[in-house]
Chain A
Amino acid sequence: MGTKATGQVNVEEVPEHTVEIITNSGEGAQKCAQIFGATCAKMGNGVWTVEIIPAEIEPPHHTVTSTSGNIIRFGTGKITNWGDQSKLAVAFNDQVLLSRHRLDSLRDDCIILLEAAWKDSEDEELRRMYDEAMEEMSSKNYRFVMVPYEEEALKIVDNPNHGKNMFALGLLAEIYQRDLSIIEKQIAHIFRFKPAKVTEKNIELVKAGIAWAKENLDFRFHIESVPFEEERIVMNGNQAAALGAIASGVELCAMYPITPATSVSHELAEIIENYGGIVHQSEDEIAAAGVAIGASYAGKVALTVTSGPGMALKTEFLALAIMIEVPLVVLNVQRGGPSTGLPTKVEQSDLLSSIYGQPGDAPRVVMAPRTIEECFHAMVTARKIAETFRMVVIVLTDANLATGVGQFTRPELDVRWQQGAIDQSPIPEGLRPYEWDLETGLSKRIIPGMPGGQHTVTGLAHDEESLVSYHPSSNELGIKMRSRKLAVFQSTLMPPEIHGDDEGDLLVVGWGSTQGAIVDAVGRAREQGHKVSTCQLAFLSPLEPGLKKIFSRFNKVMTVEINYSDTPGDPYVTEDSRRYGQLAWLLRAHTLVDVECWTSCPGQPLRPRDIYNNIIAQLESTEKGVAA
């Protein structure tokens, strides 16, 4: 396999493949991958793509820290996560490739289509770096194919950095026998804001890549495409959440830019005005919460979108919204923490702060979509809950879902989702602003404009009339009523679905975005005959009902999460001091079951193989009766 010598082409039939496109940032890997992924999806493959993004816009090129790119896993069936390792890589230089090698992202037999120019570069330093990189990578059996990306791109464009990516796309199109007409349509869509000749040039580059591959490469892969029965759409989780927001009737989205949440507002900003709504970019996240709350108070369907650090800034306002029972949907696309860089990547560390991180008692609903599809539907559900319960609903996604691209069944829209928030008819005689039903805590919402309803909402303790009150019993009643709504809401939830048998040795519990990887890993363990099952929680506050009962049917329960927990046996880590994963903490408190956890914060999505290995380790240690 490699460069074509004999004219013979070898086509290998495979169920799935994972491809990496790795470049310096600014060399267009994202566009190449986006078009390739969308094309695979449109052809009827399951697809999942993940971005590799450096924190800087354009860090110094040709270094191990300048890597920008994309991983595309596609196959015959549904693909729910990014898998384990890549089987083919397009690499524009040896250094970015080396960074992927060091992360163990490439399979031992990975085919690498590497830029040919560096090997014999005139620059001695670059030659030395190349030689050292190749030496380091020789520990693996990678199969290198040298490709003159730059030389070929220069035949068509003046700046190879604006052309190599599409040439590479051409190679992939030929290797995987992709449908050129779909690629052409995707290119036209991506460059729809640019002059038409940009689209033409890009298509020319793709064709040049195809021609080069036909001429020079002797291998092809065939991945069966089985068109799905139902209509499907392909997008990332942020796009799904944005369209879900519109489907849910959102009329105002207030936000402040923060990775990885920002692209939700990009998507909304582009289209929401066609739906009678607006995106308001505030001066900061606090103001964004305030504007959304003000709009919702006045009867609009409002949303605020942010990520962890923005969440932290919104906390006081969220507590106020909860106190005055103004409905609000908050989308938190989680990230690792403050500042920038790795903290902008995948992490699930906002669970406890989302549930508890407000001043005072502030019960609210926290939900976590598990798939890209659920990112869409969660927004509709969230609005419904927020309004029914006059409650803040926090939707937690993360960069795995936000930037992962996959397909799902095209949603059936319901015109009732678009209903305005509230009517303007006079309020019934004598109705009080917080006429709590003492059973459920529910009350009718009154908004400005409704004659006879004048009252002042206040974050101060207040009675049914919304009058400031310092009376102990009135404060106790208010707190109880606001909390009761959560219990009532929980009574509408179903116990979680179990993948696998509903009893066994080990139950793996995850939440949110990790579902795809966990189900894959548990599937592998089950194939090996292990009695492992899994369930993935979508509601975290309140928790889905029946957990204790479910847990009791397994010898051991273990969470898998992308947040920090202590490793037993580490220095100073004792049973007294051990910090658990956030869901594990919650489940332990909630069920009094000795829930174990395996967590990891790699700044990237979890790999099924890592989860698998830890499932096996847990099974072994449970057998031996020691803590993993």
Chain B
Amino acid sequence: MSSLAISLLDLEADSQVCLEADDYQKRPGKWCAGCGDFGALNAVKRLLAKEQLQPEKTVFVSGIGCSSRFPHYVNTYGFHGIHGRALPVATGIKLARPELDVFVTMGDGDCTSIGAGHWIHATRYNADMVVLMLDNNIYGLTKNQTSPTTPQGYASMTSPKGAVLPALDPLQATLGVSNASFVAQTADWVPAHLYATMQAAYDHPGFSFVRILQRCPKFTADVFQKNIENPDLTELLVHENGVDVPSLKQLFKARRVHDPKNIDDARALAHRTDKLRLGMFFRDDSLPVYEEIRAVPKISAEEKVARLNKEFERYAV
């Protein structure tokens, strides 16, 4: 009886209504014309529609930055927090409510600079969430300061003579963290790949870290330009267990078969810099997921009171 009642309840929830991609858009994005964040938003909308995610059971979490405006444009619950700290909030949400679908959007400064500690540790917690790092190689919102991923020599307001250090590689860094379970790279200007990567990230049970190379028309319009103009400078990592979009075969001639199970190859491929590589570097669905290993049985209020009363016995005078 009771199980029947419950399944009827489940049926009621939105299952009749079919949501289109645009239903997931709350309001138009307010990024600059030509900003790569639009592409990410489009792919996200398509994914949500494809998966028919219940808007009330989905949460977008972000920090501060242009890219962190993301939750405001998605018709789900959203948490627009503080700079660099989206991941702890998302981890807290997942610990509290594992059944919610959680997406995180961060900029490169957000993730790899001020939030670097959280990034390393959230990777290791491996809570089940889709993590989109929108990497435009620059601080956008604060108007053109060097980020850890800014190419060496590239000028900004804080490094007028060019960035003095080699850029930090977020893929290598993430792949170096124990319990990292999903690392992929895609680009806003290859929408089919972007979408397929997000789909894989969503399908993966664990912390799916996706670095999205993202154009910033204002401050780093040129950093990805040669790759956009010449697809031969990009190599797609393909595999039946990875991301493989048949329609891209025409455009991208350079394809490398890479089994995303192989962490050593993944690290090597992330390391070599001759070509821009898009695809799934690593995926392991068997690693411990934080909210699962921390799950504890529910206890009734009455039982809690009874147990606490018993606890007092230890301290009784």
Contact = CB atoms under 8 A, between A and B. Distances in A.
A290 B119 CA distance: 13
Interface string B55-81: 111111100100000011001111111
Contacts of A292: 92
A290 B85 contact: yes
Contacts of B304: 246, 249, 275-276, 418
Contact of A293 (B89, B305, B307): B89
Interface stretch (B32-40, B93-101, B249-257): B93-101
Interface string B278-296: 0000000000000000101
B79 A295 contact: no
A286 B88 contact: yes
A407 B312 CA distance: 12
A458 B81 CA distance: 6
Interface in B90-131: 90-97, 100, 117-118, 120-121
Contact of A294 (B75, B90, B311): B90
Contacts of B82: 316-317, 320, 459
Given A320-B82, A415-B302, A448 B88 contact: no
B77 A453 contact: yes
A2 B51 CA distance: 84
Contacts of A239: 315
Contacts of B118: 283, 286-287, 290
B96 A233 contact: no
A456 B103 CA distance: 13
A283 B121 contact: yes
* Residue among B60, B302, B314, B317 having the largest count of chain A Cβ atoms under 10 Å: B317
B309 interface: yes
A370 B82 CA distance: 34
Contact of B79 (A231, A451, A457): A457
Contacts of A235: 315
A287 B85 contact: yes
A422 to B, nearest CB: 11
Nearest to B79: A457
Given A290-B89, A294-B88, A460-B80, A275 B56 contact: no
A317 B121 CA distance: 18
Given A295-B93, A297-B93, A454 B301 contact: no
A615 interface: no
A252 interface: yes
A153 interface: no
A260 B298 CA distance: 31
A286 B80 CA distance: 16
A227 to B, nearest CB: 8
Contacts of B59: 298, 448
Given A298-B93, A300-B96, A410 B312 contact: yes
A448 B307 CA distance: 30
Contacts of A414: 305
Q: In the complex, which of the residues A278, A291, A317 has the most CB atoms of chain B within 10 Å of its own CB atom?
A: A291
A291 B26 CA distance: 26
A454 B97 contact: no
B13 interface: yes
B57 to A, nearest CB: 6
Interface in B13-61: 13-14, 26, 54-61
Interface residues of A, number: 71
B8 interface: no
Given A228-B317, A277-B296, A291 B72 contact: no
Contacts of B88: 282, 286-291, 294
Given A247-B308, A287-B118, A317-B82, A302 B92 contact: yes
B4 interface: no
B16 to A, nearest CB: 13
Nearest to B299: A276
Given A275-B304, A459-B80, A280 B317 contact: no
A232 interface: yes
A248 to B, nearest CB: 11
B297 interface: yes
A21 to B, nearest CB: 21
B78 A456 contact: yes
Interface string A6-44: 000000000000000000000000000000000001101
A276 B298 contact: yes
Nearest to A273: B296
Given A418-B305, A454-B55, A468 B92 contact: no
Given A291-B92, A294-B91, A278 B299 contact: no
Nearest to B81: A320
Contacts of A273: 296
B92 A294 contact: yes
A566 to B, nearest CB: 36
B316 interface: yes
B78 A295 contact: no
Contacts of A246: 304, 308, 311
Nearest to B62: A456
Nearest to B92: A294
Contacts of A626: none
Contact of B97 (A254, A284, A286, A449): A449
Contacts of B308: 243, 246-247, 275, 413
A234 B92 contact: no
B77 A455 contact: yes
Given A243-B308, A419-B301, A448-B59, A457 B78 contact: yes
Given A298-B97, A451-B56, A468-B72, A276 B297 contact: yes
20 contacts: A232-B316, A243-B311, A246-B304, A275-B299, A278-B294, A280-B91, A287-B87, A290-B81, A290-B92, A291-B92, A295-B96, A298-B96, A300-B96, A320-B81, A418-B301, A419-B301, A448-B59, A449-B56, A454-B26, A468-B72
- What 9 pairs across the A-B complex have the smallest Cβ distances? A294-B92, A290-B88, A456-B78, A418-B301, A294-B89, A291-B92, A300-B96, A298-B96, A295-B96
Given A233-B316, A275-B299, A453-B56, 19 more contacts: A232-B316, A243-B308, A243-B312, A274-B299, A277-B296, A290-B88, A291-B89, A293-B92, A294-B95, A295-B93, A297-B89, A297-B96, A300-B96, A302-B92, A317-B82, A451-B14, A454-B56, A454-B77, A456-B77
